[in-house]
Amino acid sequence: MKDFAARALNQAQMKGATYADIRIVTRTTQHIAVKNGIVEALEQNESQGFGVRVIANGAWGFAASARVDMREIERVVAQAVAIARASALTKTRDVNLGARIEAHGRFETPVARDPFLVPMQEKIGVLMKADAEMRRVPGIKVARGEMEFQREDKTFASSEGSFITQSIIESGCGIVAMASNLESGEIQVRSHPNSGGRNQVTRGYEFITECRMPENAQRIAEEAVALLSAAQCPSLDAATIILDGSQVALQVHESCGHPIELDRVLGTEAAFAGTSFLTPEKLGNFRYGSDVINITADATIPGGLGTFGFDDEGVAAQKTDIIKNGLFVGYMTSRESAQELKLGHSNGTMRADGWNRIPLIRMTNVSLLPGTWNADDLITSTDDGIWMETNRSWSIDDKRLNFQFGTEMAWEIKSGKKTRMLKNATYTGITPQFWGACDAVANENSWIVWGTPNCGKGQPPQVAHTGHGASPARFRGIRVGVIK
Amino acid sequence: MLGPEKIKELTTQVFALSKADQTEVLVTASERALTRFANSYIHQNVAETNAEVRVRVVYGKKIGVASTNDLSPEGLKRAADTARVIAMLQPDNPDFTSLPSPAPIQNVETYVERTANFSPDQRAHAVSVLCKKAKARGVVAAGAFTTASFEVAVANSLGVFAYHPGSLAEMNTVMMTDNGSGYAARAHADARQINAEAIADEAISKALKARNPTDLEAGEYTVLLEEYAVVDVLNFLDWLSFSAQAVQEDRSFMKGKLGEKVMSENVTIWDDGAAGDAIALPFDYEGVPRQRVTLIEKGIARGIVYDTATAAKDGVASTGHSLPAPNSDGPSAMHLFMAPGETKKSEMLKGVERGVWVTRFWYTRVVHPLQVLITGMTRDGTFLIENGEITRPVKNFRFTTSYLAALNHVRAISQETKLFHEDWSNASRSVPAILVDGFQFTGVTQF
Ligand SMILES: [Zn+2]
């Protein structure tokens, strides 16, 4: 690998690149899906290749190929440099990466059980057991379960002298029960441990065991069936709502994680993902939320789905304050964007979706830090409110202000008690008003680092895997419901 | 490009390595380049060469799939071995019948050599047209220009061999002022048909008209949905409603409705993977020829799309709409067409007393699948219509509305259509603009 990388970097410089880096990546994924007692999908995919990123004539070029051999280097490097020279046609100034970075190191995800060494029968057995438990509940139309494992081995080398290798292992799983009643036109789903197919972390198979899918299968199936005849969540202009940790995690992802991406702020994602309401003049003086809101971007949390040793520019993993006691204090940055705002060095959030994509600013583990409340007290101290649990739908505008989320299940709260189940709950708001209305965040006892394995961004499209620590939290005066 | 001979050689190698009862090889290869711009200059510019072999092996009723992009003999052997190991380890799938047998496939010529050979300089020149026009008119340009060639081939041990080469050019742009934006996009198999000037003009004039948006209360409105918004409606119908799997799982409004009126009389929707005026792919990922399937005819539900597995369940033939195996999503209507109407787009506003012009939707998500109840935002050009004319720009809305109900209240359909290619799914869509009554805006944002 060292020779291969050195050859590419040499050639790039000989062709006139003033900066070059190469990533050589092999990614192996294993996917298992069970539906209604049948193994619906069992696949293992392997994708390898290298990508060369260069600056020539002061502009960026990138080319990538699946053929990792010495002959192909020459073609791909020449293509990257030619592309950079074409980019320069429209440039308004030269790319500035700031101070040179030379990093050396190796990072490996610590795992107790390597998921690729766990027998396939064991994995299928767990999913089949959960599947059977779900389908024992009358009224369940579809039961699904899945596991996903990923191993990514990557080498990064740059013309500034960096040489880094990393092996990152991920494990994810989830089950979902669907109940339907065609006459009443109702479909309801319940998921465990999270919706969207699965929860995912950078850990080994031990995570799958801890998720206790077979033990939770009957519960979610019964909840899905009960939801069919549950009362419709009312539409209210100003309600107290309590969100479970997984929904808080997604709320953080959408309404904090994305608008703090400095590339969005600077307009470079405008055509697709959009821009951000957190414009530069707000840094350090904008009230983003109430003073119980503390958010960090931390790539060093053990097991977090956004945890790594170095980003894809070779910058070491870091922890950055984003919101401090409600005040907006930090962005996630890259080398180039940090220079543009004169923020000093990059805080290491550039990640690429495989060998054939360039790195973009991506969330690491963007987390709402634990508060002081016992999770149960959030409910017992609420006179009149709604508990909402497990995301079902999510949508937010392209500056990340107006959002609407729906959850799989909700409960009416009266006088400190969950009284009756509610279906089709949604809530909506404007980001800083919403976080400003948060009066209680549960403590570390209910704080979990959730994984979002499906964050889309960029052209061509890239999918990132991000982490979000969160615990249940309470919000006052929130608009609930749209279905009248 | 690998070419059909090289691909045949690869598939023959895999068949020789596999001792399964049945073996399927799916080869996808592509050369893609994308020039991306923002703040009126090129800030990202990329190219990629890739080819993947996906092997599905069948032992009795046990199935395994493995894929690799290492096309060396060792790489292919590893994929074949992995697929076998995976298959042997699992219980029987009682629903499985067989891989498909060969059937004649219509040849569609959609590969355009000059698109495949489009150079970084050619892309940069096209983009510089947009950037220059933007600067001249005081707006900021962002967007992307893709040119690509691709090959899809499917072979199986029952004798199927299907091969299709294609090309794609796609340009989209968002033009921005301090407080308004406009969007335009075009797709075509031939990069020379992508008219950068026209795209720039459309988006710039819209961005300028969208300056200083004013407040308009949420509520029920008649809306003119431009083609960019209508394509989203079809995407959700594909995903939620038109697939046999959605119907079999009680998730689709089409269940039990064939022959019944489900949409306005002026709505006709079909799927045709062999149409030459789209980004065609005349067979599916199992090598079954894609049938032209009428889904909605003059408002009446007429059909759904099948792959081999869902067809076996209903005792019918596959319509050729499989996704790559294994897939949990079921069949997909990847080449949807909505029939154009009688009205010129410029005349559609006539008779609209009060309504909203919507350029495009953003971040749309399912609130309720059976009703196709969707929430999302408007974006990049939202205007108030009064007495048949656009009168002023308005702040973007959140909507929570049933796309099915919308297609049941279609007042007019434009003569013009636009072609789209969806990056995420490789789907191709051809749609008109539509005028719809009773659209539910449920919130407003701050810009
Ligand atoms: Zn995201």
| DSSP element (H, E) containing B240 | helix B227-240
Residues in chain A closer than 8 A to B82 (CB atoms): 44
One domain, residues A131 and A218: yes
Residues in chain A closer than 8 A to B379 (CB atoms): 274, 397-398
What's the A254 CA to ligand 1 centre distance in angstroms?
Answer: 6
Each residue's pLDDT tens digit, A8-47: 999 999 999 999 999 999 999 999 999 999 998 999 999 9
Residue B127: closest CA among chain A residues belongs to which residue? A90
Please judge whether A459 and B249 are an interchain contact, meaning their C-beta atoms are less than 8 angstroms apart: no
Residues in chain A closer than 8 A to B364 (CB atoms): 395
**If DSSP codes are grouped into helix, strand and coil, which group holds residue B13?**
helix
Both tokens of B437, joined, read: 């009554």
A303: containing domain: 232-480
Please judge whether B250 and A187 are an interchain contact, meaning their C-beta atoms are less than 8 angstroms apart: yes
What is the spatial distance between Cα A440 and Cα A242, in angstroms, rounded to a whole number? Answer: 9
What's the A270 CA to ligand 1 centre distance in angstroms?
Answer: 15
Amino acid at B251: R
Each residue's pLDDT tens digit, A296-325: 999 999 999 999 999 999 999 999 999 999
Peptide bond into A460 cis (omega under 30): yes
What parts of chain B have a pLDDT lower than 50? none
Please judge whether A92 and B123 are an interchain contact, meaning their C-beta atoms are less than 8 angstroms apart: no
Please judge whether B123 and A268 are an interchain contact, meaning their C-beta atoms are less than 8 angstroms apart: no
Query: Half-sphere exposure of B91 toward its Cβ, with a 13 Å CA cutoff?
Result: 16
Peptide bond into B102 cis (omega under 30): no
What is the spatial distance between Cα A244 and Cα A239, in angstroms, rounded to a whole number? Answer: 16
One domain, residues A105 and A204: yes
- Among residues A482, A470, A467, A479, the alpha carbon closest in space to that of A109 is found at A467
Closest-CA distance of chain A to residue B153, Å? 18
Closest-CA distance of chain A to residue B263, Å? 18
**Alpha helical stretches, state H, B29-163:** 73-88, 113-116, 120-136
CA angle B2, B8, B9 (to 5 degrees): 85
Q: Residue A85 above 70 pLDDT? A: yes
Burial environment of residue B243 by CB neighbours within 10 A (0 to 12, 13 to 18, 19 or more): buried
Which of A142, A271, A456 is the closest to B142 by Cβ? A271
Q: Beta partners for A422?
A: A231, A410
Please judge whether B38 and A121 are an interchain contact, meaning their C-beta atoms are less than 8 angstroms apart: no
The CA–CA distances, whole Å, from A365 to A204, A283, A298 equal: 18, 20, 5
Please judge whether A395 and B377 are an interchain contact, meaning their C-beta atoms are less than 8 angstroms apart: yes
Q: Which residues contact B405 (CB under 8 A, 6 or more apart)?
A: B371, B438
> Which of A198, A229, A260 lies at the terminal end of a domain, its last residue?
A229
What is the spatial distance between Cα B318 and Cα B301, in angstroms, rounded to a whole number? Answer: 18
> Which of A229, A244, A260 lies at the terminal end of a domain, its last residue?
A229
Q: Residue A118 above 80 pLDDT? A: yes
One domain, residues A223 and A237: no
| DSSP element (H, E) containing A132 | helix A120-135
What's the B415 CA to ligand 1 centre distance in angstroms?
Answer: 37
As a whole number of Å, the CA-based R_g of chain B is 23
One domain, residues A282 and A395: yes
Closest-CA distance of chain B to residue A372, Å? 33
One domain, residues A111 and A254: no
Would you state the pLDDT for residue B333?
A: 98
Closest-CA distance of chain A to residue B433, Å? 22
Tell me how many domains chain A contains.
2
CB A166 within 8 A of CB A309: yes
Residues in chain B closer than 8 A to A406 (CB atoms): 367, 375
Both tokens of A299, joined, read: 């790539």
CB A367 within 8 A of CB A361: no
One domain, residues A37 and A100: yes
One domain, residues A176 and A263: no
* Helix and strand counts by DSSP (H, E) for chain B: 9, 17
Residue B364: closest CA among chain A residues belongs to which residue? A395
Please judge whether B50 and A49 are an interchain contact, meaning their C-beta atoms are less than 8 angstroms apart: yes
Please judge whether A44 and B66 are an interchain contact, meaning their C-beta atoms are less than 8 angstroms apart: yes
Across A115-204, the runs of DSSP E, i.e. the strands, are: 140-158, 163-181, 186-192, 199-201
Across B226-292, the runs of DSSP E, i.e. the strands, are: 269-271
pTM, 2 dp: 0.96
What is the spatial distance between Cα A408 and Cα A214, in angstroms, rounded to a whole number? Answer: 20
> Which of A15, A21, A44 should one mutate to test binding to chain B, selecting the residue with the greatest count of B CBs within 10 A?
A44
Please judge whether B48 and A64 are an interchain contact, meaning their C-beta atoms are less than 8 angstroms apart: yes
**Alpha helical stretches, state H, A170-274:** 206-210, 213-228, 245-252, 262-265
Which of A62, A91, A120 is the closest to B89 by Cβ? A120
What's the B325 CA to ligand 1 centre distance in angstroms?
Answer: 27
One domain, residues A355 and A423: yes
One domain, residues A203 and A241: no
- Among residues B86, B19, B22, B10, the alpha carbon closest in space to that of B286 is found at B22
Residues in chain A closer than 8 A to B69 (CB atoms): 46-49, 66
CA angle B299, B301, B304 (to 5 degrees): 135
Phi/psi at A42 (5° precision): -145, 105
> Which of A198, A213, A229 lies at the terminal end of a domain, its last residue?
A229
Please judge whether A142 and B249 are an interchain contact, meaning their C-beta atoms are less than 8 angstroms apart: yes
Phi/psi at B395 (5° precision): -65, 155
Residue A87: closest CA among chain B residues belongs to which residue? B42
What's the A257 CA to ligand 1 centre distance in angstroms?
Answer: 8
CB B145 within 8 A of CB B38: no
Residues in chain B closer than 8 A to A185 (CB atoms): 370-371
Through-space distance between the first and last CA atoms of chain B, rounded to whole angstroms: 46
One domain, residues A416 and A476: yes
| DSSP element (H, E) containing A67 | none
Closest-CA distance of chain B to residue A425, Å? 10
Spacing of C-alpha B224 from chain mean position:
21
Closest-CA distance of chain B to residue A381, Å? 30
Both tokens of B58, joined, read: 């069948």
Would you state the pLDDT for residue A197?
A: 85
Closest-CA distance of chain A to residue B15, Å? 18
Residue A426: closest CA among chain B residues belongs to which residue? B367
Residues in chain A closer than 8 A to B41 (CB atoms): 90-92
Through-space distance between the first and last CA atoms of chain A, rounded to whole angstroms: 61
Residue A360: closest CA among chain B residues belongs to which residue? B44
The stretch A124-146 carries a mean pLDDT of 97
What's the A415 CA to ligand 1 centre distance in angstroms?
Answer: 36
Please judge whether B328 and A144 are an interchain contact, meaning their C-beta atoms are less than 8 angstroms apart: yes
Own/partner pairs, B109-113, CB within 8 angstroms, 24+ separation: B109/B276, B110/B166, B110/B167, B110/B189, B110/B276, B110/B279, B110/B280, B111/B149, B111/B165, B111/B166, B111/B167, B111/B189, B112/B167, B112/B189, B112/B190, B112/B191, B113/B167
- Among residues A227, A91, A209, the alpha carbon closest in space to that of B40 is found at A91
Please judge whether A424 and B91 are an interchain contact, meaning their C-beta atoms are less than 8 angstroms apart: no
What's the A457 CA to ligand 1 centre distance in angstroms?
Answer: 7
The CA–CA distances, whole Å, from A363 to A292, A298, A299, A308, B103 equal: 22, 9, 9, 12, 48
Q: Residue A484 above 60 pLDDT? A: no
Residues in chain A closer than 8 A to B83 (CB atoms): 44
Would you state the pLDDT for residue A483?
A: 54
Please judge whether A90 and B249 are an interchain contact, meaning their C-beta atoms are less than 8 angstroms apart: no
Please judge whether B51 and A38 are an interchain contact, meaning their C-beta atoms are less than 8 angstroms apart: no
Each residue's pLDDT tens digit, B125-145: 999 999 999 999 999 999 999
Both tokens of A275, joined, read: 């821009």
Which of A61, A269, A398 is the closest to B379 by Cβ? A398
Q: DSSP states of B170-227 as a string? A: EEEEEEEETTEEEEEEEEESSGGG--HHHHHHHHHHHHHHTSS-B----EEEEEEE-H
Please judge whether A62 and B45 are an interchain contact, meaning their C-beta atoms are less than 8 angstroms apart: yes
Q: Residue A473 above 80 pLDDT? A: yes
Interchain CB contacts (distance < 8 Å): A and B: 274
Output the domain CATH number for residue A138: 3.30.2290.10
Amino acid at B229: A
One domain, residues A315 and A448: yes
Please judge whether B370 and A185 are an interchain contact, meaning their C-beta atoms are less than 8 angstroms apart: yes
One domain, residues A221 and A254: no
Which of A46, A62, A270 is the closest to B142 by Cβ? A270
CB B223 within 8 A of CB B360: no
Residue A51: closest CA among chain B residues belongs to which residue? B48
Residues in chain B closer than 8 A to A44 (CB atoms): 65-67, 82-83, 86
**List of domains in chain B:** 3-122+146-170 (3.30.2290.10), 213-444 (no CATH)
Q: Which residues contact B328 (CB under 8 A, 6 or more apart)?
A: A33, A35, A40, A41, A144, A146
Residues in chain B closer than 8 A to A459 (CB atoms): 34, 36, 44, 144, 146, 423
